[in-house]
Structure 1
């Protein structure tokens, strides 16, 4: 089969492309501003990439066009279509489908799907679960919205031979609640039909497509409806929003984790016992920090147990888990007497994720006796929700653990300086990368930990900042 993917450089669609290529299909694709790292990964797989969405690509005559949710029926200022190829596909009556639908029909069918849903921690928890199954010898397939350091790729088919009960080999997938395509406004995850579903947490997000939290809760309940009676729903017992989801109906085994659930963690975040109904069944000792990672790990252990991996073995596997790129990833350090300035990259972009990331680092520093060390938060409100300013008022709360905060305000329609005003001189704003870097470099001193947070490339701020710091030595 020849498939041509529209929007191929997105993390999800790039993963679909990699899986299709591994399965032996001919894969081509297009995107606007074909960009790394996905473009590099796809070209390494022998996938031809085309710049733009020109109607002339209809001449490729693939068996089917697979359409990413970046594509719409939007019009340019001159009245012409923003995506001429999509218009040509519709006019020609050519076959097309969405990425999630193609994945469900050609990869997930007949396999034991383990889906990880939630506002936060999807990528990390999916990677943890895939690593646990890998260490248990299950050779899982997976599709992750990032690059797990333990695998080096965002997607793979895995074994299709090793049976798990009577429902096929395991496939672990990051289950996103964002919509599927312009022609299918259901959340992506309703296509995956999991037998094991993790509901990690649930907050309001994606203000560009959801009116309120209740609208997202309805989508999560649509996911719950698809889990079979012999399946398992692994749910965070501390989240009221998820309890409302379950109150709408649940027809599968429930496994609750966290305070109030039968699965709990006991001990500090970097070394804790796993308890099931009060009985110790495993112990995790790892380099990760923060309550969020402890909860992510607990969820992964509970999900893995549903496919036969003993909690003790799962906990042991997490001891060697190396996390995901762009999750507190060390990007460099600069020596400055009498200590070191350290620069990290993190994907956090929702206020809760920002707060959780910074709190985790603060707890780690305090536990190591490095309480005097400062945290400098450098961030850009880049997601669709943050660009709308819907959560601007939460930013001072999200940045409480930082000693200084620096916001890139370029492209925003709301006043970032006004939103951060409650922080006083602890917050600074710049409308371009260069003055932002200059601000941070001027403020940094020995022992500082600089955390750069964005769900995009952030204009190469990490390298520019490291260069600027070295120039000031």
Structure 2
């Protein structure tokens, strides 16, 4: 047993790690500036001691290890105490590696888009198939009712994030995860706060691929040129997955219903089964294909995987149906990159071609708040019938760098889309509640809480029926 202290314990990933360490029998505690539900309740239920505020006295002599969260920087009182006293410390990804991965067969799922869903699908297929894997996800998988699972099997399925690791380590998290099976769904520019350009992101992924051992497996998205280009850097077996001809795992004959997508699969040109996943869109078929390819590598048969896919319950905040009021369906989606927005809206349109689709998008992430994807956002949002944009979340960015929501609205209007800039959440709610009709679909897209707009919408729509 080790005595482990986590600085910044209430972050989603840090809180999950704390629970995993506790389940492994360690004495775990942690501190954060603000300790509040639901994370505080979750951690206390695990028997983890929470300390509110950062204080030097929280760093005591009996500690074996201090895990430093990604949001912690120099000047933090506890961090300064750790450095002064030379107490052993590490980043979150280093802690995951050292505590869980050295003895495991690591299945690391990476890529700009689809990581959380693909990790959840893969972890669930292996669980359903009896492999009893451990799983660590950057979201809440409904089949696990949480963001992690500790199993007794050899495989550890983990979401591989390309974001940096800690104040002292600005390299990507996934470089610590010891991949035996590596999945790269796709590569695009993102994380403009830490990557200067697409070439820097390509370099991070090349370094990731370079870690896969000779007996390992690299699975690459065949429909993305930058992902596919990684094959030339591999030192292991390479398989590809996607809808394009020539993919090792090719999905074809996609059939979309109101709440699922059926498809057939060829492996190296040979029919390899029929599947159905309770999600919409070609992008989710690609995610499912990656999970199928991993399942096959682990030894699962086609029938078992097909049954597992049908029983997949989704991931919270990935086209999550939050409720229906007055015949208007409200969804919550994490999309914040133009490609993800476009794929989401195209998927919804394919399932509901005759319904009116509202897209409410909050520019919140470091990349979406910048002017990098000005025209791309207009193109992506153009797949909706009505579009609403609030104020850019990071309003302190210089104006010449900040996304112009008014410019996006102008581009959409010129393309014939009913688009409006409504800066305040409450006014957005009043507008939608006043104009939405029975049968409309409202897709709210943000990588943050967005002022709890989903529930506010449902409450306002409910008033109409009273």
TM-score bracket, shorter-length normalisation = over 0.9
* Aligned-pair Cα RMSD in Å: 1.7
Check if 1:432 corresponds to 2:418: no
Residue 297 (structure 1) aligned with residue 284 (structure 2): no
Say yes or no: does 1:392 pair with 2:374.
yes
Aligned to 2:299: 308
Q: Which moved more, 1:203-212 or 1:435-444?
A: 435-444
Match of 1:362 among 317, 329, 349: 349
Query: Which structure 2 residues correspond to residues 225-240 of structure 1 after superposition, within 5 A?
Result: 225-240=210-225
1:408–1:433 Cα contact (<8 Å) kept? yes
Instruction: Tell me how far 1:308 sits from its aligned partner.
Output: 1.3
CA distance in 1, matches of 2:197, 2:237: 28
Query: 1:124, 1:27 → 2: CA distance?
Result: 29
Match for residue 111 of structure 1?
104
1:120 aligns with 2:113: yes
Which stretches in structure 1 are left out of the alignment for 5+ residues?
74-80, 163-168
Give the superposition deviation at 1:359. 1.0
- Aligned partners of 1:393 and 1:419 also within 8 Å: yes
Deviations, residues 60-80 of structure 1 (Å, cap 9, x unaligned): 75221101111122xxxxxxx
Q: Deviations over 1:333-361 (max 9, x none)?
A: 112xxxx1111111111111111111111
Residue 325 of structure 2 is aligned to residue 334 of structure 1: yes
Q: Specify the alignment match of 2:365 in structure 1.
A: 383
Q: Secondary structure at the match of 1:387?
A: coil
SS in 2 for 1:268: strand
Residue 324 of structure 1, CA deviation: 0.7
2:258 matched residue in structure 1: none
Please give the alpha-carbon distance, in whole angstroms, between the structure 1 residues aligned to 2:175 and 2:330. Answer: 38
Taking the aligned partners of 1:199 and 1:177, their CA distance within structure 2 comes to 11
Matched, 1:287 2:274: no
Write the distance in 2 (CA, Å) between the matches of 1:62 and 1:444.
56
Q: 1:348 to 1:61 in 2, by over 3 A?
A: farther
TM-score by length of 1: 0.91
Structure 1 CA distance for aligned equivalents of residues 460 and 156 of structure 2 = 44
Given that residues 28 and 47 in structure 1 are in contact (C-alpha distance below 8 angstroms), is that contact kept between their aligned partners in structure 2?
Answer: yes
Q: Deviation per CA, 1:284-317: give whole Å up to 9, x if none.
A: 1232110001000001111121111123422331
Cα distance in structure 2, aligned partners of 1:356 and 1:34: 36
Q: Give secondary structure in 2 for the equivalent of 1:142.
A: strand
Structure 1 Cα separation of the partners of residues 129 and 108 of structure 2: 18
Give the equivalent residue in structure 2 for 1:205. Answer: 190
8 Å CA contact 2:254–2:264 kept in 1: the answer is no
Q: Give how far 1:188 is off.
A: 0.4
Structure 1 330/102 Cα, relative in aligned 2: closer, same or farther at 3 Å?
same
Contact 1:341/1:444, CA 8 A, preserved across alignment: yes
Provide structure 2 residue ranges, at least 5 long, that are not aligned to the other structure. 256-260
- Aligned counterparts of 1:211 and 1:139: Cα–Cα separation in 2: 40
**Partner Cα distance (1:202, 1:343) in 2:** 30
- The separation in 1 between residues aligned to 2:38 and 2:351, in whole angstroms, is 30
Q: Does 1:26 align with 2:27?
A: yes
CA deviations on 1:80-109 (whole Å, 9 max, x unpaired) are x3x222122222222210111111111111
- CA gap of 1:398–1:43, structure 2 versus 1, over 3 A, is farther
Deviation at 1:408, TM superposition (A): 2.1
Task: List structure 1 runs of 4+ shifted beyond 6 angstroms.
Answer: none
State the distance in 2 between where 1:69 and 1:239 align. Answer: 29
Aligned counterparts of 1:293 and 1:15: Cα–Cα separation in 2: 25
Using the size of structure 2 for normalisation, the TM-score is 0.92
**1:266 aligns to 2:252 (yes or no):** yes
User: How many residues are matched?
Assistant: 447
What is the aligned counterpart of 2:356 among 357, 374, 387?
374
Give me the whole-angstrom Cα distance separating, in 1, the residues matched to 2:306 and 2:73. Answer: 44
| Correspondence for 1:451 | 443
| Other-structure match for 1:97 | 90
